[in-house]
């Protein structure tokens, strides 16, 4: 077959195929039209029969009346129009029924999936708790015996950080925890420290040579000294000083929590090099400001983050007391729920005032839960919350020095206070609001504390209060109508803190439903159970299977990032759980503060090394 014949044959085939397709389409359309016609004709005769029977009964009732024939120009009884309306109504009703059935099916699937995921999570959590209790029992009976048990009891009865450190070193030696950690790059730190030392020694030699040089070589020696000093500045801001260089912030281990020798040598060399540049005449003031400003931005700031936890939150006072005694309080303090009250206390008082305030005698001012229990029950039955917000507002002002605003607190202490709140309405999709002197300068601190502590069923959602330029106090509705517990969305507000260049966080975590899962586990089964439970919670949240209780997504409580660079986990006992919603006595507050101090002592070494770096490169 030639090419022309093949082309002609193909064109005939295409035409024939189009004819057959068109014919088949027409046949299908005719069949569908016949089916619809037969179907609607049957309904039409049914409708006519029902209408004629009703018409006969009506004619029998009105037999004495004369019948008026219908006009020939109009259709008989409007059957065609009625039939068309009936067909449209029927199709709409069918669509509604189909949509309703699909909705029921979808709801059933959601309920089944939610129950299955909840069952898996509950089983894994129960398995984790039971196995943890069995392991703890084994450790108390078998591991902590003899000299180890004696050292552990002595460690828990230590009265000061020095006594704790001495006992912790002995316990680490007994347990074999004094080996260097492999979680950081020690060789990189040694290399950086050596580079800094050589550059500093070169700059010192050049400065001495310029000081001892004669008048004929003074210009050349001064230029050489300046070049050596600029070389040291370039090393400092070229990556030698930055956040978590070499991963050293995770280098401390054991009960003592001391940083390794390589980290101490690196921190000491940074202090010496930065101090030399600060006092050198070879570097101009503008160059010094640029160098120290860049190092400060690279290193970032330190923040103390206080979690929620109701009555467990008084342990934050011991954590803050330990930092005041053995290091320094960070320049940024954040809090949510119960931690918001302690953060407000730290953010509105100076260090000297806090040394006088942070004592067990503070318990006489912690009276938020006072009052008749029956009155609280009646208030809960009527309004849905147990405590009265007006009473709490008056008692909270004792800790916030009256009606100080965030900007006034920052001006008074120089410490940045951050308090997290969550929108009370489900329709507000803006997420949590972290109030500070930058985001809410005119908001009164005590109103933010009450809003952040507004747990559903315990305290109502709060409208924030702001102070005008004239000093008057009024409701603040610019950011939202009402706010409640900040632990729902920002128990530890890492995102907001990172925006403020916070690169190192000390997290005091006392939430009873969270702290038990934050302990670092060496056993693979514990990590598997925790990770799998979080995975299923994340699936439930992403598929929107988790029900919203009081307008809040409770799955987010466990799915947030709840730890930090240093995570402090104070010990808890059954008495602490029993007093979650009770005012502490002086004895119980002293016990809570002591446990907070003990938990913080294990992290003082890393925090102090970090604060030494910040002090060395601070812009003075």
Closest to 154 (Cα-Cα) out of 255, 254, 258: 255
* Catalytic annotation present for 180: no
Burial tier of 313 (Cβ tally within 10 Å: 0-12, 13-18, 19+): buried
Task: Collect all residues with Cβ–Cβ distance below 8 Å to 338 and sequence separation of at least 6.
Answer: 307, 308, 309, 310, 311, 312, 313, 316, 453, 510
Whether the Cβ atoms of residue 190 and residue 265 lie closer than 8 Å to each other: yes
Whether the Cβ atoms of residue 535 and residue 543 lie closer than 8 Å to each other: no
Name the token pair of 86: 């009936």
Name the token pair of 186: 């020690």
Burial tier of 163 (Cβ tally within 10 Å: 0-12, 13-18, 19+): middle
Which one of 172, 307, 485, 553 is the catalytic residue? Answer: 485
What does R_g of the chain's alpha carbons equal in angstroms? 38
Whether the Cβ atoms of residue 274 and residue 236 lie closer than 8 Å to each other: yes
Q: What letters, b where the CB count within 10 A reaches 16 and e where it falls short, cover 6-28?
A: eeeeeeeeeeeeeeeeeeeeeee
DSSP string, 338-386: HHHHHHHHHHHS-HHHHHHH-SGGGGGG--TT-S-HHHHHHHHHHHS-S
Closest to 322 (Cα-Cα) out of 556, 560, 570: 570
Question: Which residue carries 């006092």 as its tokens?
Answer: 279
Q: Pairing mode, if any, of strands 464-467 and 473-476?
A: antiparallel
Q: Pairing mode, if any, of strands 301-306 and 332-335?
A: parallel
Cα separation, 212 vs 214, whole angstroms:
7
DSSP string, 66-110: PP-PPPTTS-GGGHHHHHHHHHHHHHHHHHHHHHHHHHHHHHHHH
Which one of 225, 273, 307, 337 is the catalytic residue? Answer: 337
* Catalytic annotation present for 337: yes
Closest to 415 (Cα-Cα) out of 361, 347, 357: 347
391-397 own/partner pairs: CB under 8 Å, 24+ apart: 392/368, 392/450, 392/453, 392/459, 393/446, 393/447, 393/450, 395/365, 395/367, 395/368, 396/341, 396/344, 396/368, 396/446, 396/449, 396/450, 397/446
Q: Give the distance from CA 147 to its chain's centroid.
A: 42
Closest to 236 (Cα-Cα) out of 276, 286, 177: 276
Helix then strand then coil, in percent of the chain rounded to 5, is: 65, 10, 30
Cα separation, 455 vs 549, whole angstroms:
12
List residues with catalytic annotation.
337, 485
């Amino acid at each position: 077959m030639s090419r022309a014949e093949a082309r002609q044959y193909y064109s005939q085939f295409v035409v024939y195929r189009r004819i057959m397709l068109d014919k088949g389409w027409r046949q299908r359309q005719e069949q569908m039209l016949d089916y619809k016609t037969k179907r609607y004709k049957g309904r039409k005769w049914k409708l006519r029969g029902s209408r004629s029977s009703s018409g006969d009964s009506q004619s029998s009732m009105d037999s004495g009346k004369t019948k008026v024939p219908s006009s020939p120009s109009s259709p008989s009884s409007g059957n065609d129009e009625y039939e068309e309306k009936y067909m449209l109504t029927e199709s709409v009703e069918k669509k509604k029924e189909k949509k309703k059935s699909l909705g029921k099916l979808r709801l059933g699937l959601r309920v089944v999936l939610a129950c299955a995921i909840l069952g898996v999570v509950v089983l894994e959590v129960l398995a984790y708790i039971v196995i943890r209790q069995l392991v703890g029992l084994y450790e108390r009976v078998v591991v902590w015996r003899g000299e180890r048990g004696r050292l552990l009891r002595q460690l828990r009865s230590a009265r000061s950080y020095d006594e704790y450190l001495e006992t912790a070193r002995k316990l680490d030696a007994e347990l074999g925890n004094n080996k260097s950690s492999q979680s950081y790059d020690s060789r990189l730190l040694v290399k950086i420290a050596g580079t800094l030392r050589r550059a500093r020694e070169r700059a010192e030699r050049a400065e001495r040579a310029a000081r001892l040089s004669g008048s004929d070589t003074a210009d050349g020696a001064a230029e050489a000294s300046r070049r050596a000093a600029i070389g040291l500045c370039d090393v400092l801001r070229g990556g030698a000083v930055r956040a978590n260089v070499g991963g050293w912030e995770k280098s401390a281990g054991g009960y003592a929590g001391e940083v390794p020798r390589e980290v101490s040598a690196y921190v000491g060399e940074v202090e010496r090099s930065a101090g030399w540049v600060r006092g050198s005449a070879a570097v101009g003031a503008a160059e010094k400001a640029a160098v120290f400003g860049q190092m400060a931005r690279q290193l970032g700031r330190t923040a103390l983050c206080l979690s929620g936890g109701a009555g467990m939150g008084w342990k934050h006072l011991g954590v803050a007391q330990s930092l005041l005694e053995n290091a320094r309080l960070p320049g940024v303090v954040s809090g949510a729920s119960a931690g918001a009250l302690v953060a407000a206390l730290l953010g509105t008082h100076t260090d000297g005032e806090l040394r006088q305030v942070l004592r067990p005698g503070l318990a006489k001012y912690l009276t938020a839960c006072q009052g008749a229990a029956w009155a609280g029950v009646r208030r809960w039955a009527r309004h849905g919350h147990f405590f009265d917000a007006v009473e709490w507002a008056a008692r909270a002002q004792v800790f916030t020095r009256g009606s100080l605003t965030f900007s006034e607190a920052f001006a008074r202490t120089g410490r940045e206070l951050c308090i997290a709140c969550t929108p009370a309405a489900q329709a507000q999709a803006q997420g949590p609001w972290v109030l500070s002197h930058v985001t809410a300068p005119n908001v009164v601190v005590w109103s933010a504390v009450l809003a952040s502590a507004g747990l559903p069923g315990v305290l109502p959602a709060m409208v924030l209060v702001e102070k005008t330029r004239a000093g008057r106090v009024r409701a603040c509705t610019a950011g939202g109508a009402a706010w409640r517990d900040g632990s729902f969305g920002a128990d530890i507000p890492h995102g907001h803190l990172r925006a403020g260049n916070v690169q190192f966080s000390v997290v005091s975590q006392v939430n009873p439903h969270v702290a038990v899962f934050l302990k670092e586990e060496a056993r693979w089964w514990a990590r598997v159970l925790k990770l799998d439970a979080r995975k299923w919670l994340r699936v439930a949240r992403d598929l929107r299977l988790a029900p919203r209780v009081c307008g809040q997504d409770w799955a987010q409580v466990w799915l947030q990032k709840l730890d930090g660079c240093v995570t402090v986990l104070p010990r808890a006992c059954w008495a602490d759980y029993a007093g979650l919603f009770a005012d502490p006595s002086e004895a119980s507050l002293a016990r809570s503060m002591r446990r907070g101090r003990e938990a913080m002592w294990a992290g003082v070494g890393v925090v102090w090394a970090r604060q030494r770096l910040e002090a060395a490169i601070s812009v003075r």
